[in-house]
Amino acid sequence: MSPTRSGTSPRTRRPAVRATWGAVLALGTTAALTAPLTAASAASDPGTGDRDVRAVQTEYPQTTRTLRLKMLTETQAKDNAKFDPAQFGKFADYFSSPDFAAHVAMLPTGKVLLFSFESVEDNPQKEPAPTDVIGSRNAGTAYVWDPAAGEGPAAFKAVPPPIVDMPDGTNQPRPAPFFCAGHSYLPNGMVGVFGGNLGGNGGTGAKLALVFDPWTETWHQQQDLSVGRWYPTVVTDAEGRQVIMSGQSELGWGTPTPVIEEFPARPGAVPLNPRKAPDGVASGVWKSEAPYRMDYPHLFSLNDGKIYGFGRDADQEWRFDPADQTRTQLPDRPDGGLRNYGSAVALPNGTQGPDSVLILGGNRNDPNTYRFSGGAWHKDTPRAFGRTQDDTLILPDGTLFTVNGSYDIRNYGNGDLNPNADLKYRQTETRGADGTWRLGPEQRLPRGYHSNAVILPDGRIMVTGDELQQIANNPDIKSGLNGTIEIYEPAYLHQGARPVLSKVPAGAVGYDAALTVGTTTPGQVSRAVLLAPITSTHAVDTSQRHLDLQITGRSGNQLTLKTPPSANAAPPGYYMLFLLDDKGVPSVAKWVRLAP
């Protein structure tokens, strides 16, 4: 997406260069970081079909990348020395990845799916994504990372999308350009990905519909959508169907589609069997529409079984009923105007499933958060500062954790396509049980646009994404390792021994039912929590969900839990089950599958 296409109100001017870059002077890098760059020719002919040789742009020096990464590493270590890990957590690891990870999905195998695109540019002062490219250079990439294997090439497996011949007139088959799509989970644990990049006209929607099987680690192509979608949002409803809204159409930027689709089409059954991936299945069109003016709205399936859609425009807030496919107007968001891409979460609500949503990011000028509950908006506790492109996660103990963020799209505080950042955006923030926010440790890279974060089953947080920053700070741009992953350990991992969850049922469990689990530390367990896995892009994650499970019985090394009351509270699918002690320290999770 063009960095000039900002959703943030231009009422205030861009701030001056921040004093935080004073640290650069001590490293002697000022000349390298501020020297003007000569104009460069465009990337090599996008129709060549040669996807194995990346066009390294020689006008952006490797020394600048190396020195900037050195500065970021040293200032991170210095600034984080004051944070006690037992109170604030800590960033524990940083390593290379083969993918930019503009899209991520935590898989029920314990692995993480990363996917994005083949870069057309290695100069971080130019757009690296092939948004306006047609032909074979407009191609997708995908990898699976195994956290159990750690880091290094052996920890990653290439899982490229199907080869497709896009309807762009070039007749050049290539791995499906499914970046800029939307995605959520099928009830059988697979990942449905809808839309993508046809190429040209500032963001042109593809009609792609793909499903990733995490057990075979293969892609399955479905029938095309009825309309192209670039930047759509997908949410799984209480029945288990994936509802698809918004996105720029196949005509390009400025033509967002109002058409709502669902996968699979009725009367087809939702896919519940994890051993059977759908192939060639059609999507169906709703009778009502979602006329969002801007793309990537936030969609949440709340505990009344309705889908709540929060548009980036303040007056485009709607409730959708999947049962009768109707749309109802909600009150305008009280901040007014247009928000950029920024985080939102469905707030924890005990055992009953979420009934409210918190809108957080998307406006660099507004630190306030806005809660929608009971049919009305409420101004909630502010963060330290406004930010866009952020990710907010619900941790197993119910606290909220914000990571990533920037000044604007492809703008880190010092102008468009300038990777030199206002480093305040590296700071994390955590909201505790009392609702107040506090700043915490800094991540290494100032990740913004296309950044992502997921909670791993062991309770750590994986932070990745933002190809421009990854390119700008690559210690070896010719290595082919385009991305990076950083690992954050929340404070609960530094607060003593953890409870142990030793056994869960192998098969599916129903709703409002007894769930018997094993633990070798029954005396430590005071709480049980289901946490839905994260699949996110562009600060949008419709899947994240946190539910408490009532502990109804204890017998030796066994606990009896009560599952959620209905699919409205927790749509069918895979969840991570954590056992927590009275301080909120979680066990390593095991996967539980809910099914009707």
pLDDT (tens digit per residue) in 388-430: 999 999 999 999 999 999 999 999 999 999 999 999 999 999 9
Question: What is the C-alpha R_g of the chain?
Answer: 23
Whether residue 221 lies inside any domain: the answer is yes
Q: Are residues 474 and 527 in the same domain?
A: no
- The domain tally of the chain equals 3
Q: Dig out the tokens for 515 from the structure.
A: 């769930």
**Residues 427 and 534 both lie in one domain:** no
Domain boundary, last residue among 233, 263, 296: 296
* Among the listed residues 419, 401, 400, the one whose alpha carbon sits nearest the alpha carbon of residue 410: 419
Please state the φ and ψ torsions of residue 492, each to the nearest 5 degrees.
-60, -20
Domain limit, last residue, from 244, 261, 296: 296
- Tell me how crowded residue 282 is: count the other CB atoms within 10 A of its CB: 16
The answer as to whether 10 is a domain residue is no
Q: Is the dihedral of CA 100, 102, 107, 110 positive or negative?
A: positive
Q: Is 593 left (phi over 0), alpha (psi -120 to 50) or beta?
A: beta
Query: How far is the CA of 525 from the CAs of 140, 456, 505, 578, in angstroms?
Result: 44, 20, 18, 10
285 belongs to a structural domain:
yes
Question: Cβ(571)–Cβ(183) under 8 Å?
Answer: no
- State whether 175 and 271 are in the same domain: yes
- Which pLDDT score, from 0 to 100, does residue 3 have? 36
Task: Please give the structure tokens belonging to residue 402.
Answer: 């914000």
- In order of 78, 134, 160, 342, 412, the CA distances from 538 in angstroms are 30, 23, 21, 8, 16
Which of 302, 351, 280 has its CA nearest to residue 548? Answer: 351
**Residue indicated by tokens 């059954």:** 269
Are 78 and 166 contained in the same domain?
no
Q: What share of the chain is helix, strand, coil (3-state, %, to 5)?
A: 10, 35, 55
The verdict on residue 53 lying in a domain is no
| Domain termination residue (choose one: 263, 296, 329) | 296
Closest-CA residue to 277 (of 357, 169, 162, 358)? 162
pLDDT in the model for residue 58 = 58
User: Is residue 303 a part of any domain in this protein?
Assistant: no
- Same domain for 472 and 525, yes or no, is no
Q: Which domain holds residue 537?
A: 514-594
353 lies in some domain: no
Do 153 and 92 fall into the same domain? no
What does the alpha-carbon distance between residue 131 and residue 472 come to, in Å, rounded to a whole number? 19
The reply to whether 245 and 209 lie within a common domain is yes
According to DSSP, residue 98 is labeled S
Residues 486 and 586 both lie in one domain: no
**424 in a domain, yes or no?**
yes
Q: Do 520 and 548 belong together in one domain?
A: yes
pLDDT at 350: 98
Residue 558's CATH number: 2.60.40.10
- 171 & 240 share domain: yes
Q: Do 519 and 490 belong together in one domain?
A: no
Q: Which residues of the chain have pLDDT under 50?
A: 1-57
**Phi first, then psi: what are they for 116, rounded to 5°?**
-165, -120
In a domain, 330, yes or no: no
Which one-letter DSSP state was computed for residue 312? S
Q: Do residues 435 and 583 both lie within one domain?
A: no
Distance of CA 547 to CAs 374, 436, 455, 474, 593, Å? 19, 21, 15, 39, 14
